[in-house]
Structure 1
Amino acid sequence: MQGALTRYRIIAWIVGVCLLALVVVGMPLKYLGDNDVVVATVGPAHGFLFMIYLVLTYDLARRAGWAFPRMLLVMAAGTIPFLSFWAERKVSHVWIPAELAKSPV
């Protein structure tokens, strides 16, 4: 499960940073500066990376034995700026350690 957690943590940060770049830099440039270069570049990359985020979140949820609503909550966290960082922290420091403590080694 450690490999799945590491993959999830990396993609959660990448998706979070891309989303912030879109919202904080790209959207103001597009709508206030009439320049859509950032949105045209980062937008498709974020979309592709978000699909990878969904797959890796599913993989982690399956390995950890999460309930379906928890998995959906973590998946949805990648759509709201800053929430993917919170979800990554919650998953890696609260939920997964609790799962590991329950399982016999």
Structure 2
Amino acid sequence: MNAQLKRFRIVSYIVSTFLIVLMFVAIPAKYVWGFDTLSTVISPIHGLCYMLYLVLGFQLAQQAGWKFWPETVGLLLGGTVPIGSFFVERWAHRKILEEHPQAADPKVREEEAV
């Protein structure tokens, strides 16, 4: 589960970053200044990353044994709001470590034992 959690965390940060750039840089550049190149590049990248986010989020929720509503749905919808997946990722990380302490990174477990 540790590897699954790491993959989800990485993709979650990527999805949020691309969504923030898309919403606050690329879209205004397209509609205010008429510069649509940035939007046409970032939109498909964010879309692909969001699909990966959905797959990894669903797999993580299944592995953690979460119910479909509200945990899994909330996790999957977290990537639709700018900066939302940052918060959802932290929530999921804490919840999984509470429910499955063996999912903690081995280095972190060694430091906590000292």
TM-score, length of structure 1 as denominator length: 0.92
Percent of aligned positions that are identical = 37
Runs of 4+ aligned structure 1 residues displaced above 4 Å come to none
Whichever of the two has the greater Rg, that structure is 2
State the superposition RMSD in angstroms. Answer: 0.8
TM superposition shift of 1:90 = 0.9
* Count of residue pairs brought into register by the alignment: 100
Partner in structure 2 of residue 23 of structure 1: 23
Gap regions ≥5 residues in structure 1: none
User: In the alignment, residue 75 of structure 1 is paired with which amino acid?
Assistant: L
Q: Deviations over 1:4-51 (max 9, x none)?
A: 100000000000000001011001101111111111000011111111
Alignment match, 1:90: 91
Which 5+ residue runs of structure 2 have no aligned equivalent? 102-114
Kindly report which structure 2 residues correspond to 1:1-105, keeping only aligned pairs within 5 A, or say none.
1-69=1-69, 70-92=71-93, 94-101=94-101
Distance, in Å, in 2 between the alignment partners of 1:27 and 1:62 is: 35
The separation in 1 between residues aligned to 2:24 and 2:43, in whole angstroms, is: 13
TM-score normalized with structure 2 length: 0.85
- Within 2, Cα distance between the matches of 1:91 and 1:10? 13
Aligned AA (2:6): T
Q: Distance in 2 between matches of 1:27 and 1:82?
A: 16
Deviation at 1:84, TM superposition (A): 0.5
